[in-house]
Chain A
Amino acid sequence: MTDGIIRLEIPKFGLSMEEGTVTRWLLEEGDSFAAGTDIAEIESSKIANVLEAHTAGILRRKLVAEGDSLPVGGLIGVAADQAVSDEEIDAYLAQSTAASGSKPEGTISNAPAPPAEASPAVSKDTAQVESSRRPAPDTTATTSQPAPGRIVIPESLSLGEGEVNTMEVPLTRHAAQLAERHRLDLSRIPGSGRRGRVSVADIREAVVAEGGSLPRPERPAENVPGSPSTADDSAVRATPLARKLAREAGVNLNDVPLTGDRGRVTKAAVLAVLRSREQTVAGGMEGTAVAPEAQGGPAFRVLPFSATRRTIADRLQASKQTSPHFRVSSDVRVDELLRLRDTLNAELPEARVSINDLVVKACACALQELPHCNVQYVADELRGFERVDIAVAVATKSGLITPVVRDVGSKTLLQLSSEVRSLATQAKAGQLRLEDIEGGTFTVSNLGMYGVRNFDAIINPPQSAILAVGAIRREPVVDGDQLAIGSLVNLTLSSDHRILDGAVAAELLGRLRFLLSNPALMLA
């Protein structure tokens, strides 16, 4: 088949439909259409319906006039887009006509052959296959296409004028009501129950098989707790005044309690419903805790869980679950340290030493002096190190990361300072390599820049301890027998008690405090 050419055929509206009549063209040759556009009205012996476009295109040729009949699948016209030339269409039509041979005018060989008249006991599967080949349901009121929710009884199942069901057909209660309401010809509807009893499902199946529609009854929305009813309330017993009031106020009488005299809806009851609705509305506007769900949106969004985040989660959870943490904490007087930093930064042009750099330096000194603290606990193994590698916690957009400064003890303060700065920059840019963040025995985490006085940190496994550094505070201090103003920093050391005992941690913290309050000793 030529590309781009759309065949317009007589559709099959029902199982027993064999031919259709084009009663009216709804487009002219040359008209363009979108998917869903009505192209022509087509009638079978049972129902009238509309041929609907499945895709967009331009109607290029009408092959039949209004009033002409063709078998199901018969070609009534051709559509195509502009790219297809008239010659191509002519060639296509010539080929189609030639292929049709002796077949009736307008049919072609590759059109589906109309199936034999379906037996009444048509299977559900067949019915579904057939119905899927029909044009999509059209909801406009101008056609007789069964709209969803509408009952369409095919003529073939209806009793004629003056006809009655003469056969004794066993029916369920609801099937009997349905048959009576729609004047169904019961001799045409096979029953599947005991004694051939006909159920509503049997009727539905027969109706659908004949191209009609019989949706399940939709119960009124009254069944949904809390929502206003939309069901017909004309049968609800109510006083005339109450009915008038309810109609004017838009209240469905199904929503009003039957409390009045003789079980009727009264004016007072309608007013009570109105009042309670007003209260509900007012409550909502005052912003009383309305759950996001109540406003129609979800309560939360699922955010991406990055690989970094996952690593942090797994490692820190493992740390808290496997290593017994304990903390020792102390304030350190840092007036000397601040003076040293200021001197260094003032005198050396390339220096940008931070208090944190000095703390890292002090840690390196202390760990060198106390090698039994410079340990890792890996796979039930206690590993001692001579070299001191210290990790520095860096906050990045994707999460906490702890690059490791190697052999801190062998580095000058300026080397150390510039290396920490470089690692932090790389961390924030996401440029660290795996070897930049592995190993170490100790971490320094500093939240002083956020004004945090003191905090507990979680050990970064397999390290043995982590030092949490708070902000520098100016506070009254007792200096000898004098009250003075001093600069203090809180240090809190979290240690893994499996490998560091309390006294050892206290010793380490004491050494750190001593070094930081007497920074000249770090030169030693």
Chain B
Amino acid sequence: MTTRLDVNGRTLEVSSAEDTPLLYVLRDELGLNGAKYGCGLGQCGACTVLVGDQAVFSCATPLSMVAGKKVTTLEGLGTLDHPGRMQRAFIEEQAAQCGFCIPGMIMRAEALLRDNPHPGAKQIREALHPNLCRCGTHMRILRAVARAAKA
């Protein structure tokens, strides 16, 4: 049995079992490695993608829950040659150290700006609360989101 998915604007048929976490489908079946496996419990945010315009933990979201819905991953925001506004802001602020959390941070921040194009500093902090960074580039991440909001 296959499931129809809309990923980054393309309609795809995937063959993973319905209870497979979306993250595994993205990485293992579709080769979209932007979203990362961190905790597997929806607690660290490294796996964050968009469903519609909302940030979700793809590791805790089964395929059955997103069938037919619009999924956007890091790859859907831009390319190496043409990074999207949020990706550009993260590059310009050099917000990554090890970089593992960054795709999730970018997707969470993207969801914030889609909901609120001009967030204040406090709103940015609150919105990013579900995502963890273990290296400590938090201040640069916050600056990057603020920069993207001004872009």
- Bound pair: A and B? no
